[in-house]
Amino acid sequence: MTIDKKALFAKFLDYLKSEQAPPEYLGEAPESASPFDPYQMLAEWTALRHEVKQQGKLFAKTQDTLQQALEVTRADKEQLQIRLEESQKQANGQFEQQQEKLLKDLLGILDALDRACTYWQEELEALSATSSVTSTLQNVQQKSFWSNLGKWFAGKEIQPTLSNEIPVSGSLSEIITSNQQGVELIRRSLLEILRQRRVVPIISMGKPFDSQTMYAVGREEKADVTDNTVIQEVVRGYLWGNTVLREAQVIVATGGTS
């Protein structure tokens, strides 16, 4: 079968020249495109490039401003942290000073209770000695009674005796003992309160003198005691944790064995 190329080409030209209706899926026919202008395109590209540069400069400036603001914020935060730490340290220091003053005031009360306990103990000892003397005097009075009675029957002058001597009542001893026990109870309660706050007495009696926790108010020669040993505690000292709240005032032996 021979194909007539000329005839086929002629039909193709006729088809191109004829106006055919566009397919339904294309919709309306497209409008005619505007003619291409290279100068306008170059101008638009130049303007767009300039705008991009301006936006880049603005972005860089904004970024620098933001970085500076962040640095200022960071510096302010560091300064605020330093001020907070200093304020905390200052508050802690003031609290410790107030607490130390309060504890020292309580030590003064404890010293008074110690003296009260010593006083009542001495009173008990004195009362015990007085009771012994009174018992002896009562025995002497009984002997004097019979002697005076014999002298009265014999018509002799009777000398004054100790019949007006009043014996010490046993209730007085009970009162003093009760007072001593009451003071001792308060003293122990205060010691427990101080112990809970890490305040403990400094053990100094019989110990070598320690200049860190003790203060020597005097020296006494003791040949039978090791030199530089505490032989008397004048004022008791106390530790507050690892801090010396109050030094112990002591008397130290000297002239003894080394």
Give the domain ranges of the chain. Answer: 199-258
Residue 2 has pLDDT above 80, yes or no: no
Residue 46: per-residue pLDDT: 87
Identify the burial level of 83 via C-beta atoms within 10 angstroms of its C-beta, where 0-12 means exposed, 13-18 middle and 19 or more buried. exposed
Structure tokens at 105: 């005031």
CATH no., domain 199-258:
2.30.22.10
Cα 42 from chain centroid (whole Å): 77
Rg for the chain (alpha carbons), in Å? 57
Residues 205, 214: contact at Cβ < 8 Å? no
**Mean pLDDT in the chain?**
80
pLDDT of residue 103: 93
pLDDT of amino acid 165: 44
Q: What's the pLDDT tens digit per position in 23-51?
A: 666 556 556 556 667 778 888 888 898 89
